Amino acid sequence: MKPRILIIGGGYGGLRTAMTLQQHLHQQAEVTLISKHDYHYQTTLLHKVAIGTLSARKSRIYFRKILDLTKVQFIKDKIIEIKPDSKQVIGNGGVYEYDYLVIGLGFKPEGFGIKGVEEHAHKLSSLNAALKLDKAIEYKFKEYCHTKNQQDLSIIVCGTGFTGIEFAAELGSRLDELCLIGGIPRDIPKITCIGRSDRILPMFSKKSSAIAQKKLESFGVEVICGGDVQEVKTDGVVIRKDGELKEIKGNTILWSAGVRGSDIVEKSPLENTKGRVKVDAYLRSPQYENIYVVGDCALCTSRDAIHAPTAQLSAQMGDYVGKSLLKILDGKEQKEPFKFVHRGTVCSIGHTDGVGIIYKQSINGEFAAFLKNFIENKWLYGIGGAKLVFKNGQFRYRTSN
Amino acid sequence: MKPRILIIGGGYGGLRTAMTLQQHLHQQAEVTLISKHDYHYQTTLLHKVAIGTLSARKSRIYFRKILDLTKVQFIKDKIIEIKPDSKQVIGNGGVYEYDYLVIGLGFKPEGFGIKGVEEHAHKLSSLNAALKLDKAIEYKFKEYCHTKNQQDLSIIVCGTGFTGIEFAAELGSRLDELCLIGGIPRDIPKITCIGRSDRILPMFSKKSSAIAQKKLESFGVEVICGGDVQEVKTDGVVIRKDGELKEIKGNTILWSAGVRGSDIVEKSPLENTKGRVKVDAYLRSPQYENIYVVGDCALCTSRDAIHAPTAQLSAQMGDYVGKSLLKILDGKEQKEPFKFVHRGTVCSIGHTDGVGIIYKQSINGEFAAFLKNFIENKWLYGIGGAKLVFKNGQFRYRTSN
Residue B181 and residue A400: Cβ atoms within 8 Å?
no
- What pLDDT does residue A325 have? 97
Residue B394 lies in a domain: no
Contact call for B38 and A181, based on CB within 8 A? yes
Is residue A129 within 8 A of residue A164, CB to CB? The reply is no
Residues B163 and B37 both lie in one domain: no
What type of residue is A108? K
In a domain, B248, yes or no: yes
Give domain status of residue B71, yes or no.
Answer: yes
Residues in chain A within 8 Å Cβ distance of B146: 93
Backbone φ and ψ of B327, nearest 5°: -60, -45
Q: How many helices (H) and strands (E) does chain B have?
A: 11, 27
User: Do residues B161 and B203 both lie within one domain?
Assistant: yes
| B58, B183, B387: residue with CB nearest A74 | B183
B239 and B156 share a domain? Answer: yes
CA angle, residues A74, A76, A80, in degrees to nearest 5 = 120
Question: Are B47 and B166 contacting, i.e. CB atoms less than 8 angstroms apart?
Answer: yes
B243 and B123, same domain (yes or no): yes
Q: Which helix (H) or strand (E) holds B63?
A: helix B63-66
Nearest to A181 among B52, B58, B62 (CB): B62
**How crowded is the C-beta side of B111, counted as CA atoms within 13 Å?**
16
Which of these three, A341, A358, A391, is where a domain ends? A341
- Given this model, what pLDDT does residue B400 score? 33
Please calculate the CA angle B285-B45-B60 and round it to the nearest 5 degrees.
85
**How much of chain B exceeds pLDDT 70, in percent?**
98
Asked if residue B250 lies in contact with residue B151, where contact means CB atoms within 8 angstroms, the answer is: yes
pLDDT greater than 60 at residue B401: no
Distance from B12 to chain A by nearest Cα, in Å?
19
pLDDT for A395 equals: 64
Interface residues from chain A to B (CB-CB < 8 Å): 38-39, 52, 55-58, 62, 64-65, 74, 76, 93, 142, 145-146, 177, 180-183, 387, 391, 400
Q: Which of B110, B166, B222, B376 is catalytic?
A: B166
DSSP letters spanning B127-156: HHHHHHHHHHHHHHHHHHHHH--GGGGEEE
Could you read off the pLDDT of A215-225 as tens digits, one per residue?
999 999 999 99
User: Does residue A365 sit within a domain?
Assistant: no
The confidence band for A354, taking pLDDT boundaries of 50, 70 and 90, is very high
Give how far B53 is from chain A: nearest CA, Å: 9
A9 with A75, same domain: the answer is yes
Q: What is the pTM of this model?
A: 0.88
User: Which of the residues B33, B34, B38, B67 would you substitute to probe the A interface, choosing the one with the greatest number of A C-beta atoms within 10 Å?
Assistant: B38
Which one of B64, B146, B177 has the shortest CB-CB distance to A181? B64
pLDDT band at A401 (very low <50, low <70, confident <90, very high): very low
Q: Which chain B residues contact residue A182 at CB under 8 A?
A: 38, 64
pLDDT of residue A62 exceeding 80, the answer is yes
pLDDT tier for residue A108 given thresholds of 50, 70 and 90: very high
Mean pLDDT of B59-76: 95
Mean per-residue pLDDT for A260-280?
97
Which residue among A57, A76, A182 places its CB closest to the CB of B38?
Answer: A182
* Average pLDDT value over all residues in chain A: 93
Query: Which whole number is the average pLDDT over A292-308?
Result: 88
- Assigned domain for B131 exists: yes
Nearest chain B residue to A57 by CA: give it.
Answer: B55
Q: Which of A231, A258, A285 is the last residue of a domain?
A: A258
pLDDT at B395: 64
Q: Say if residue A152's pLDDT is above 90.
A: yes
Size of interface A-B (CB pairs under 8 A): 51
- Which tens digit of pLDDT belongs to each residue from B79-138? 999 999 999 999 999 999 999 999 999 999 999 999 999 999 999 999 999 999 999 999
What are the start-end ranges of the H helices in B330-401? 366-392
Query: Could you tell me how far CA A327 lies from the centroid of its own chain?
Result: 30
Chain B positions touching A387 (Cβ under 8 A) are 400
Among the listed ranges A333-342, B51-60, B226-235, B277-286, which one has the minimum average pLDDT value?
A: B51-60
**One-letter amino acid identity for A243?**
G
- Across the interface, do A142 and B387 touch by the CB < 8 Å criterion? no
**What is residue B399's predicted lDDT score, i.e. its pLDDT?**
38
User: Does residue B360 surpass a pLDDT of 90?
Assistant: no
Q: What is the distance between the alpha carbons of residues B269 and B273, in angstroms, rounded to a whole number?
A: 12
Look at residue B397 and tell me whether its pLDDT is greater than 60: no
Q: Which whole number is the average pLDDT over B284-290?
A: 97
Render pLDDT for B195-224 as a digit per residue (tens, 0 to 9): 999 999 998 999 999 999 999 999 999 999
B400 interaction partners in chain A (CB closer than 8 Å):
387, 391
> pLDDT-derived band of residue A133, with 50, 70 and 90 as boundaries?
very high
> For residue A303, is it left (φ>0), alpha (ψ between -120 and 50) or beta?
left
Same-domain status, A92 and A163: no
Are B185 and B306 found together in one domain?
A: no
Q: A197-209: per-residue pLDDT in tens? A: 999 999 899 999 9
Chain B residue at shortest CA distance from A59: B55
All residues of chain B having their beta carbon less than 8 Å from the beta carbon of residue A32 are none
Res B282: pLDDT? 97
Q: Which residue of B has its CA nearest to A181?
A: B64
Average pLDDT in the B150-164 region? 96
Of B57, B74, B145, the CB nearest to A76: B145
Q: Say whether both B253 and B282 belong to one domain.
A: no
Which of B38, B145, B181 is the closest to A62 by Cβ? B181
Instruction: In whole angstroms, give the CA distance from residue B342 to residue B313.
Output: 8
Q: What pLDDT score was predicted for residue B151?
A: 95
Task: Report the b/e string of A239-258 with b at 16+ CB within 10 A.
Answer: beeeeeeeebebbbbbbbbb
CA distances from A366 to A369, A377, A398, B158, B187 (A): 5, 16, 11, 52, 50
Measured distance CA(B162)–CA(B347) in Å, rounded: 6
Largest CA distance in chain B: 69
- For residue A363, what is the enclosing H or E element? strand A361-364
A386 vs B contacts (CB less than 8 Å): none
Whole domain around residue A206: which residue ranges?
117-258
Task: Give the pLDDT score at A305.
Answer: 78
Number of domains in chain B: 2
* Residues on chain A touching B40 (C-beta within 8 angstroms): none
Lowest mean pLDDT among A125-129, A285-289, A348-352: A348-352
CATH code of the domain containing B179: 3.50.50.60
Which chain B residue lies closest to A66 (C-alpha atoms)?
Answer: B181
Q: Is residue B396 part of a domain?
A: no
CB contact at 8 A, A210 and A204 = no
**Would you say residue A397 has pLDDT above 70?**
no
3-state secondary structure of A248: strand
Q: Are residues B122 and B210 in the same domain?
A: yes
In a domain, B363, yes or no: no
Contact A38 B180 (CB under 8 A): no
Cα B25–B27–B33 angle (5° rounding)?
Answer: 70
HSE at residue A391, side-chain half, CA atoms within 13 A, is 24
Residue of A nearest to B401 (CA): A65
| Average pLDDT for A263-287 | 97
* Residue that finishes a domain, picked among A320, A341, A362: A341
Out of A55, A57, A183, the one facing B74 most closely (by C-beta) is A183
* Greater model confidence, B82 or B352: B82
For an interface test with A, which of B34, B35, B51, B65 has the most A Cβ atoms less than 10 Å from its Cβ? B65
Q: Indicate whether B246 and B285 sit together in one domain.
A: no
Q: Does the pLDDT value for residue B264 go beyond 70?
A: yes
Is 50 exceeded by the pLDDT of residue A32?
yes
The H or E element that residue A299 is part of is strand A298-299
Query: How far is Cα A26 from Cα A39, in angstroms, rounded to an integer?
Result: 25
Q: What are phi and psi of B15, to 5 degrees?
A: -65, -45
Residue in chain B nearest A78 by alpha carbon: B146
The DSSP secondary structure of B261-311, one letter per residue, reads --HHHHTSSS--BTTBEE--TTSB-SS-TTEEE-GGGEE-EETTEEPP--H
pLDDT for residue A376: 87
Does pLDDT of B245 surpass 70? yes
The pLDDT confidence band at residue B398, using thresholds 50, 70 and 90, is very low
pLDDT in tens, A209-257: 999 999 999 999 999 999 999 999 999 999 999 999 999 999 999 999 9
Shared domain for A64 and A121, answered yes or no, is no
Name the residue with higher pLDDT: A33 or B310: A33
Own/partner pairs, A263-271, CB within 8 angstroms, 24+ separation: A263/A108, A264/A79, A264/A80, A264/A81, A264/A82, A264/A105, A265/A82, A265/A103, A265/A105, A265/A293, A265/A297, A267/A81, A268/A81, A268/A82, A268/A84, A269/A82, A269/A83, A269/A84, A269/A85, A270/A82, A270/A84
Residues of A in contact with B177 (CB under 8 A): 65
Residue B194 has pLDDT above 80, yes or no: yes
- Would you call B183 and A76 a contact, using CB atoms and an 8 Å cutoff? yes
Residue A400 confidence (pLDDT) = 33
Q: Is residue A375 part of a domain?
A: no
Sequence-separated (6 or more) residues with CB below 8 Å from residue B55: A55, A56, A57, A58, B49
- Is B166 marked active-site? yes
Is the same domain home to A123 and A232? yes
- Of A239, A221, A222, nearest to A230 by C-alpha is A239
Instruction: Kindly state the average pLDDT of the residues B308-330.
Output: 95
| Residue A332 belongs to domain with CATH number | 3.50.50.100
